[in-house]
Structure 1
């Protein structure tokens, strides 16, 4: 897996001050995407053990609320294979910090009914994620007043509660 950028102090992609990892590779190609360069699976730098350690170190300060993974597309199969064990490490080391993930896939249609039955890491990866922003960016539904989303079709899903209940539970801001 490759990544395009690591933001050390991000306040735009989840609550509080976060570390954000922008992975490379996306097949959605949404019109108006703010990060087109990450569509290529070879964009940026290889995600290595050193990269993991760098991010884990960045997560240490108490003022960091958690990790956000976006892209590109974290839920692409080849990205899941690398991200699952990394997210598991993050959760084990920092159980009090939240993990947010942005995906252009729709939870019920793509993740639940297509990916989970076929892909080895999807459910395991979801179990590490606290909040999932789902749905493609839709230029015609762009709304700059939405918190942590680009277009009105996108939702912020509370993954833990959703997995517990079997019904989509949306994030409620604390």
Structure 2
């Protein structure tokens, strides 16, 4: 039986939530409550709907033009097991996985329950949104403090490697 995710919703095709054409899943539930968040309706952990991972995978497979999946929020790392299954299965099907988090990469690598999801993420946008550092000129992120991290290269080099995609 497939894991279930509590989600606020999905966008079946997006070109603004990562490279290429993306299927975007918005996690429901976030403890960060960043002032100025563009998705405050996703903060309530009891909101949204439960959806099976296999349902999302089936929806993705209907579109042969998709390059990848983006896990946004809310906070996907608050549901690490279910989102890990989604990310793992997506990668197994050849999709690129990008995730947004209010946590720092340095924090995530110390949290055993969140490592699986991190290990199945290709690009990670980390850090809380900060209104004072907001810029509409940034690619794939909302504020200058947020980083786009190449997770695979970072794990290999054992140090943070920023992706060239958003700089």
TM-score by length of 1: 0.87
Q: What is the deviation of 1:6?
A: 0.8
Within a 5 Å distance, the mapping from 1:142-157 to structure 2 comes to 142-157=134-149
The secondary structure found in structure 2 opposite 1:4 is strand
Distance in 1 between the 2:124 and 2:155 partners? Answer: 12
The secondary structure found in structure 2 opposite 1:69 is strand
Q: Deviations over 1:103-150 (max 9, x none)?
A: 000111x2123x13xx2xx22211211000000000111011000000
User: Which residue of 7, 11, 15 corresponds with 1:7?
Assistant: 11
Distance in 2 between the 1:50 and 1:166 partners? Answer: 33
TM superposition outliers: structure 1 runs of 4+ over 6 Å: none
Q: What is the deviation of 1:16?
A: 1.2
RMSD (CA atoms): 1.6
Distance in 2 between the 1:99 and 1:49 partners? Answer: 14
* Structure 1: tracts of 5 or more residues without a match: none
Greater CA deviation, 133-142 or 34-43?
A: 34-43
Distance in 2 between the 1:53 and 1:33 partners? Answer: 28
* Structure 2: tracts of 5 or more residues without a match: none
Given that 2:18 and 2:140 are in contact with CA atoms closer than 8 Å, whether structure 1 keeps it comes out as: yes
Within a 5 Å distance, the mapping from 1:90-101 to structure 2 comes to 90-94=90-94, 97-101=95-99
Greater CA deviation, 47-56 or 16-25?
A: 47-56
Distance 1:128 1:55, change over 3 A: farther
Query: Is residue 137 of structure 1 aligned with residue 129 of structure 2?
Result: yes
Query: Is residue 83 of structure 1 aligned with residue 90 of structure 2?
Result: no
What corresponds to 1:16 in structure 2? Answer: 20
What corresponds to 1:72 in structure 2? Answer: 74
- For this pair of structures, how many residues does the alignment match? 162
User: Which residue of 40, 43, 47 corresponds with 2:44?
Assistant: 40
The secondary structure found in structure 2 opposite 1:64 is coil
TM-score by length of 2: 0.91
